[in-house]
Structure 1
Amino acid sequence: TALTTAGTEITADIWFNAYGVTPNTAYLGGGDRHLEVTPELRLPGSRNVFAIGDITAIPELKMARLAQFHAEVAAANITALIEGRDELTRYEPTPDAIVLPLGPAGGVSYAPEAGVLGADVTADIKGGLYLDMYLQLLGAEAVR
């Protein structure tokens, strides 16, 4: 059971806390527990320590899709350092956008460059929850 700020009581069989992000980094001693990173996703003052994903203090939404973008930049920069290159890739924070599927044929999306997108477009983008993309990325096959 949960109590809303308006005083309404809501009872549910299952409750998912799906809001807010507090990284489990208290042991690092930071204020809001997020880590400051350079544009190359390194910890300030460090040549070869990188941070990606929700743990970073990058001013953008904390989403798996963006963590994937962080990983691509960090991997490129680690490769550059191994190869002795000084020129590193800089990460550019991504404008807020969301794709919210509701089943395989519904939902709503928003992107600053496109505005609000309806169910058909949302289903085309994420109706399969990116399953095919992740199967390909992991070199795996679906078990059906």
Structure 2
Amino acid sequence: MCSVAEELRSLGAQIAYNTPDPEHGVDCVKYIAHQHPYSNAAWNCYYKVITRLDDCFVNSAKRLFFNIARAYHLVGLVTLAAWHYDKVLAMHVKDYPIPKLPHEKPESVENRLPGYCDLRREAAFNLHLIYKKSGAVDLARQVLRDHCTF
């Protein structure tokens, strides 16, 4: 027997699946996919909803690849880490302006450099560390030059 909360989440997932702007039902769809990890229908619904969000699927994928790469890197599986860091570097997404908080002075935000929400620099730096440790110093320098300089 389903609880009222389960029924509401299911309804929210259905609404997110069927509406042009699924933003408000994303959490419901994530919950359903989490509760039914072996259900193709749940994952199909999840991917259909996520891909319709504005630029969020790409950012989420970039974050996912970065987190997986970082985990592999931490446990010493550097070949797998390097592959995932390369995936992050290959993804190009639009840089979003830094939001201004109500109590901030306008000039404090405008002087920041672009790219604050982009994980490519962090991925490039970590990939450079892997290359440097393996003895590929020239390749490490090239990664830094290509992705971490202005």
Shared fold per TM-score greater than 0.5:
no
